[in-house]
Structures are given as structure tokens and as C-alpha cells.
Amino acid sequence: MIRVTLEAFGPGDDRTPDRIRARAEHFMRDAHPSSAVAETPSGQLVGLAVTRQLGPIVLLAWAAVAEAEQGRGILRSMLTDFPGAEPGVQRLVLSSTDPKAVRRYTALGLSLHPTVSAGGILRPRAVGVAPGTEECSPHDAAPILDALGLEARGAVYGADVDLMAAQGDRVHLCGRDAAVVRNGGVIRLAVARDEEAGRLALRAALGAVPPGATVHLNQLRSGMDWAIAEAHDAGLAFSPEGPVFSDEPLSPLHLPQGSIG
């Protein structure tokens, strides 16, 4: 699993062997029956697709195919049992920019939402003050995360808070109205009740990025002007990113993480 993931996406701050292993163990606990793996006749793993059921959300949390096996229909085969559309269910996929993956997810009958990412190294004093915010651990923020998640996406974060804590994530709160989860320079997710609270929590998270660390704020969608404005004000550079696929439009106050939603 580690080898396939690194071959598919390459190494990165968030894709070390230990972190891949920890996430895999966590996700397997609530994997949806439609999850699948692909193996060679000799039993070598060459692909995996892990689907999770999170309340009304059916999330394709992890999909990877070994580099040498890409373009051979393995992803299509693994998604054969991916759930179809049904009332009250929100299917969700956060795609890479790989044209083959985008084409495959489009075939699932989901709506495509274009996105951009913001990133770069923050200039000194590029981020303003964020009054009324605080930083805490995921466990300390769990009641607020769950309340906001239930409002914005229809599901609490539940046991995923344990994963956030195990990975060393930090949470930036604006009262009880917004939460941004950060690890180093990676903004993992954001959820808010209103745009002003969301901006302040995101500003606090950007302001806490270690000096010299590269910021990654991924898959900003149409309607997320509050987050785009903060990224612009911080001097981050924008670039096209893989689309988000869903049955219904996501709340503009919810920036999901690919494996947590």
C-alpha cells in the first residue's frame, strides 16, 4: 500500500511511509463494502480504492494505482461497485489533476466542480492579526469540530479527530463559529458558520505556519471567496487543481480533506 501510494502521488510532507500506514489502518476500520484492491496473479498489490461511509457522505477516501499499471483500466475496475446515486446520500470525490482520473470520476455521474490551490512561502508579516481566535489540539476542539461538521456536511468528524491528533494536527478556532485544521504549512480542512469567522480562523492558521514552510491550501471552489481572499492577502500564488466531484454542491463554508471529507 505504501509503495503504490508513493508511486501514484510521489513523496511529500504528508505522504511519508509512517503517515500512509497510519491513515490506512484508520480508514480500514470503517471502509465501505465497495472498497477494492487490485493484485497481479502473483498477489502483488497494484491498486486500491478505499471508500468510507461518513453519515450521509460516501467518500472515495483513497484511490491509487501503481505507476507501471496506470492506463490499463485498473481504477475503472476497482470502482465497479462504487455506490450509485440515491436520495439523501452525498457521494464525494476529491480528484487529482490526472486526466485519466478526472475522466473516470466523471463517469460516476457526479457533478464536476473546478478548483484552484493556493501555495507558497509566506512573506514576513504577510498575515495580519486574527482577533478572537485560539489554537488548540484536535481533541480539545472536537465538540466544535463535530458541531460545525454536522451543520456544514451532515456528519460529525468522530474518530477522525483521533487521526488528526495522531498526525500532530493543530486546530485554529474562531469562537464556536469556525475551525481550520493545520499541519505545518498544510491546511487540511476548514469549516465555518459564516464567512467572517472562516476568514479569521484561516488567517490565524496561516499566521501560525512555521517560518520558511510551504503553505498548501488546496481545492478552493467557486463560492469560497472568503478563503480565496485570505490566500490572496497573504501573497500566496494560485494554480489550477484537480476538481471536486459530488452529487450536490458542497457548502461554500466547508473545505474538505480528501480522505476525511
Report the chain's mean pLDDT, rounded to a whole number.
89
Interval 124-177: pLDDT, tens: 888 988 999 999 999 999 999 999 999 999 999 999 999 999 989 999 999 999
Is 178:145 a contact under the CB 8 Å cutoff?
Answer: no
d(CA 161, CA 210): 22
pTM as predicted: 0.88
> Smallest Cα–Cα separation from 143: which of 132, 158, 154, 131?
158
Q: What are phi and psi of 130, to 5 degrees?
A: -130, 85
What own/partner pairs with CB < 8 Å and gap ≥ 24 does 79-85 have?
79/36, 79/49, 79/104, 79/108, 80/36, 81/33, 81/34, 81/36, 82/34, 82/49, 82/51, 82/108, 83/32, 83/34, 83/51, 83/58, 84/109, 85/109, 85/247
User: pLDDT of 1-10, one tens digit each?
Assistant: 444 443 444 4
The pLDDT of residue 17 is 61
> Which pLDDT band holds residue 37 (cuts at 50, 70, 90)?
confident
Write out pLDDT tens, residues 208-252. 999 999 999 999 999 999 999 999 999 999 999 999 999 999 999
Which domains occur in the chain, in start order?
Answer: 2-114 (3.40.630.30), 118-242+250-255 (3.40.630.90)
Q: What is the pLDDT of residue 7?
A: 40
Q: Count CB atoms within 10 A of the CB of residue 125.
A: 7
Residues in the chain: 261
Q: Is it the case that residue 61 has pLDDT exceeding 80? A: yes
Q: Using CA atoms, how far apart are residues 81 and 58, in angstroms rounded to an integer? A: 12
Confidence of residue 18 (pLDDT cuts 50, 70, 90): low
**Rounded distance, CA 92 to CA 252, Å?**
15
Q: What pLDDT is attached to residue 11?
A: 46
pLDDT at 188: 94
Provide the H-helix boundaries in 13-137.
Answer: 17-27, 74-78, 99-106
Q: What is the pLDDT of residue 43?
A: 74
pLDDT digits (tens, 9 = 90+) for 90-124: 999 999 998 988 999 999 999 999 999 999 999 88
